[in-house]
A and B are shown apart, each in its own frame.
Chain A
């Protein structure tokens, strides 16, 4: 996004807050008195219950913990990636109650009672989700870092078209959207791939869409 002057600072901010989260996780609550002169004695922590990939999970998290950090650091589901940590890249995309969101811009405590699907919940190595299989078949990646987010996003995109949600490239927003390459490119624009695997990603999604319609 357009934020030239803030780049360096935001990266450092990410590292600092990431470290704060990790420290809070590793420490039992009773040890917090040993903490060096922190401004608040114990940072506020709250219980949350979420269903992740069909399994119930009960956590107690520092209120600052994002859904992304809860998935990665607390539940050890490291398939979901942290790219920018600012809603700009889509690497952290997961599906919450059937809708794709950026898990880096959402607090874990705001998801009490929610149902979350991550890349680990879509399929398994032995039994891939059709979208995962299509990405493999079409080489929809190079380094693979953006891929879990791309796949979660793509699965949700097909549902969004089916649900009739309009996009920026619609000639007539009142009409039902139809599947097209332009629609895919526009709807996937929140998922950045710095390896530039875009054309293969589009091919993979096209194939997965075709299979599902058949």
Chain B
């Protein structure tokens, strides 16, 4: 690990201002992704700004019947919150499907949203990777791509967003709240938060330099039955090959978002209109124009079948 200075932030605005004026600075929250990558020298910050002492660890009801989740709320606490378990069960299910009990005790709401890809070549500094080193090429294209994206890919990168929690947040139409280095705040719809790789795969999201996440808000509950089905190579403690987050109403209408398919949580609102017609009709629209590789084409069928299992359970 490269040496770094360490500062405890005193307020969200100060943290953002310090991050913007200090070259090589990064925020650290749970540390479970950042420290992992720093040990491999994939991330090499020269200054860490510890945000853990900021009072951003509460879950509050909003005036329009939703919830405001502080950026530092731990994954365990978010999953265990009574209101979340009752009204946003898909979120609890997605969180407890990820990582381990130890990791969820540390992992924060903001840090989880910002976790980086698990592309094996991103993790191997001996390999070209446009996300790790812009312009160096992409070893995954033509390489081992079983886990990688099947839609929304580019000639520069075919990585996936690996997380679970964000898939449920995309389904729920969450909003990310931030404070910028000049002290102003903004709200980013979760649909616009994670980005597709395009020509700039080193950018995972639309945050600006120094911008700090302060909270994630959820609109009022949707009702319906909630599902998060995660398919992986072992029963627990592994990243998703494919995951399906869904809320299905009594009349068969609903919402669906997919994990493991793209560089961002994959939700196509137009496809949701086909949910009452079944998984095949929905998947056909959701994955129109997919660009799978020989190794990961199975994901398209797996996603459709996982959705079929969810819809079957919803009817039962």
| Residue contact B97 to A106, C-beta cutoff 8 Å | no
Residue A44 contacts which of B6, B28, B127, B235 (CB distance < 8 angstroms)? B6
Which residues on B sit within 8 Å (CB–CB) of A170? 96
Chain B residues bordering chain A, tally (CB within 8 A):
50
- Are the C-beta atoms of A6 and B123 separated by less than 8 Å? yes
Q: Which residues on B sit within 8 Å (CB–CB) of A13?
A: 39-41
Instruction: Given A5-B127, A13-B40, A166-B79, answer yes or no on A87-B103 (Cβ-Cβ < 8 Å).
Output: yes
User: Is residue A142 contacting chain B, with contact meaning CB distance below 8 A?
Assistant: no
B100, A90: Cβ atoms closer than 8 Å: yes
Q: Do the beta carbons of B31 and A106 come within 8 Å of each other?
A: yes
Q: Does A101 contact B (CB under 8 A)?
A: yes
A66 at the interface (CB under 8 A from B): yes
User: Nearest-CB distance from A25 to chain B (Å)?
Assistant: 15
- Chain B minimum-CB-distance residue to A24: B3
A1-B238, A5-B124, A168-B96 known; A10-B1 Cβ under 8 A: no
Counting CB contacts under 8 A, is B89 at the interface? yes
Task: Name the B residues within 8 Å of A190 (CB-CB).
Answer: 99-103, 237
Residue in A93, A99, A157 whose Cβ sees the most chain B Cβ within 10 Å = A99
- Judging by beta carbons under 8 Å apart, are B85 and A173 in contact? yes
Least CB separation from B100: chain A residue: A190
By size class, the interface of chain A is 35 or more
Please, which residue of chain B has its CB at the minimum distance from the CB of A175? B85
Contacting pair A17 B144 (CB below 8 A) = no
Cβ of B48 under 8 Å from chain A? yes
Q: Cβ of B32 and Cβ of A87 under 8 Å apart?
A: yes
User: If A2-B118, A173-B92 touch, does A87 touch B36 (CB 8 Å cutoff)?
Assistant: yes
Listed A/B pairs (26) with beta-carbon separation below 8 Å = A2-B118, A2-B233, A5-B120, A6-B40, A6-B120, A6-B124, A9-B124, A63-B5, A63-B6, A64-B4, A85-B39, A99-B105, A101-B105, A102-B103, A105-B36, A110-B50, A110-B52, A157-B101, A164-B80, A165-B76, A166-B79, A166-B80, A174-B89, A186-B236, A189-B237, A191-B100
Q: Which of A's residues lie within 8 Å of B, judged by CB? A: 1-6, 9-10, 13-14, 17, 20, 39-40, 43-44, 46, 62-64, 66, 85-87, 90, 93, 99-102, 105-107, 109-110, 153, 156-157, 160, 163-168, 170, 173-174, 185-187, 189-191
Listed in ascending order, the chain B residues whose CB lies under 8 Å from chain A are 1, 3-6, 28, 31-32, 35-36, 39-41, 48, 50, 52, 76, 79-80, 82, 85-86, 89, 92-93, 96-97, 99-103, 105-106, 118, 120-121, 123-127, 144, 147, 233, 235-239
Give the top 9 A-B pairs by smallest Cβ distance, nearest first. A190-B100, A6-B123, A189-B236, A5-B120, A43-B3, A189-B237, A5-B124, A63-B6, A174-B85
